[in-house]
Chains A and B, each alone.
Chain A
Amino acid sequence: MPSLKDLKNRIQSVKNTRKITKAMQMVAAAKLRRAQEAAEQSRPYTERFNAVMAGLAGSVGGSDNAPKLLSGTGSDQTHLLVVMTAERGLCGGFNANISKKAKAKAAELEAAGKTVKILTVGKKGRDAMKRDLGSRFVGHVDLTEVKRVSYPDAQGIAKDILGRFDAGEFDVATIFYAKFVNVVSQTPTAQQIIPFEVPAEAAADVDGSTVYDYEPSEEAVLADLLPRAIATAIFSALLENGASEQGARMSAMDNATRNAGDMIEKLTIQYNRSRQAVITNELIEIISGAEAL
């Protein structure tokens, strides 16, 4: 049976924790709004870009001299998994869900006799996968210093990946990130970026009625745009991830705040009961002492 003082201390400590989680929840809410705005503002670019890519890929993609980034190297022996997670924890299952998805994919590929290479973006994913898959790591992108994800960050990652592709290090690249659905739900997603796959919704939107002239030429435009398309895909994944992270953190911290509240209630009842017991005990002692006289 803890003493009254112990209980009091415990209640105070849970109250302090609740203050912290509450503050973190509010910070996450503010950051979430900013992250969502950033995602919103990048949408026109991504949508137009994908629409043009869909049209181009449709007309050039089938030919024999299509760029390797679109048609692939002709083999799918070596896979590069780009695992994009947060730099910080305390955001519920966000990091774990993405790593779990990537791990499952890696296991599946290795069971099929393929070679797996892993590039991690964000510290948490690297930590989570180091034990099982540490030997497959080929690189890590550190975004700790980055406060707001900007397009050059995505370009840097894309350049790294494209450099490895040109050097023949892998055949297929897939990015793993969490798609933001709403504050309580984020879906871990795998998206193949090399060979480039046009997102299904963009492909469905292609309007075949306008025939475009291409300058310099269809092939040249495609070759110029493919690396940019990969950077764009990575950029929108980074933004989705940013919003998802803050959303996950917000709901995790909301839960934590609520749990702390419940705990304080329980502890307070326990505290009051034992205080009452002490008082009753003292009274009994006084009365029985008086009776004994």
Chain B
Amino acid sequence: MQFDLVSPERSLASHAATSVSIPGADGDLTVMAGHAPTITTLRPGLLKVEADGKSAEYVVTGGFAEINAEGVTVLAERAVPRSDMTQEHLDEMYQEAENMYKTAKDNWQNEPGPVDDAAKLLGDMVAMGSEIGLSTKQPSL
């Protein structure tokens, strides 16, 4: 099964893989050869790729994954190999999510939809942080 990970600025990985775990918006899913064709949006999280007994992990935020007969294509707005992930990166991402939450709260005072979405994004960031062993401030929701 072919695996491609592309960000707007460059293509990060393109090789054969045996399984790919994707942090989907509705929950994690693991894709192996023969998966039903699916398009899912991503939440911030860890993308795990197994190939030839080796595994690679990437931190991805925003975007989507397209699964079809040929393989998996993950289009992430931001994708960083886990080994390159630093506290500064995470802080920056967290800050961004927090700002989004704040603006959403100001702009949509009577509509819970966008505010909840932003709060979920912020929560996902924190969960991702603890998953990769880096800490974020506790969100002040």
Contacts and interface: CB of A to CB of B under 8 A. Distances in A.
Nearest to B74: A48
B68 A210 contact: yes
A38 B9 contact: yes
B26 A228 contact: no
B10 A41 contact: yes
Contact of A49 (B10, B38, B75): B75
B64 A212 contact: no
Contacts of B37: 210-213
Interface string B39-58: 11100000000000000000
Interface string B1-41: 00010111111000000000000111001000000111111
| Interface residue SS majority, chain B | strand
B66 interface: yes
A154 B78 CA distance: 13
Contacts of A213: 36-39
A225 B62 CA distance: 9
Contacts of A216: 25-26, 40-41
A76 to B, nearest CB: 25
A214 B8 contact: no
A212 to B, nearest CB: 5
* Interface size class, chain A: 20 to 34
Contact of B69 (A48, A210, A235): A210
A127 B62 CA distance: 36
Interface in A217-232: 220-221, 224-225, 228, 231-232
A231 B78 CA distance: 13
Given A166-B107, A213-B36, A221-B64, A48 B10 contact: no
Given A48-B66, A225-B64, A215 B38 contact: yes
A215 B40 contact: yes
A215 B41 contact: yes
Contact of A212 (B8, B9, B38): B38
Contact of B9 (A151, A166, A224): A151
B64 to A, nearest CB: 6
Nearest to B22: A215
A44 interface: yes
B95 interface: no
B63 A228 contact: yes
B77 interface: yes
20 contacts: A41-B11, A44-B11, A45-B6, A52-B64, A150-B9, A151-B78, A154-B8, A155-B77, A212-B39, A213-B39, A214-B38, A215-B24, A215-B26, A215-B40, A216-B26, A220-B25, A221-B40, A221-B41, A228-B63, A235-B8
Given A48-B6, A52-B66, 15 more contacts: A41-B10, A41-B11, A42-B10, A44-B11, A151-B7, A211-B37, A212-B37, A215-B25, A215-B26, A215-B29, A221-B40, A224-B25, A224-B41, A228-B63, A232-B8
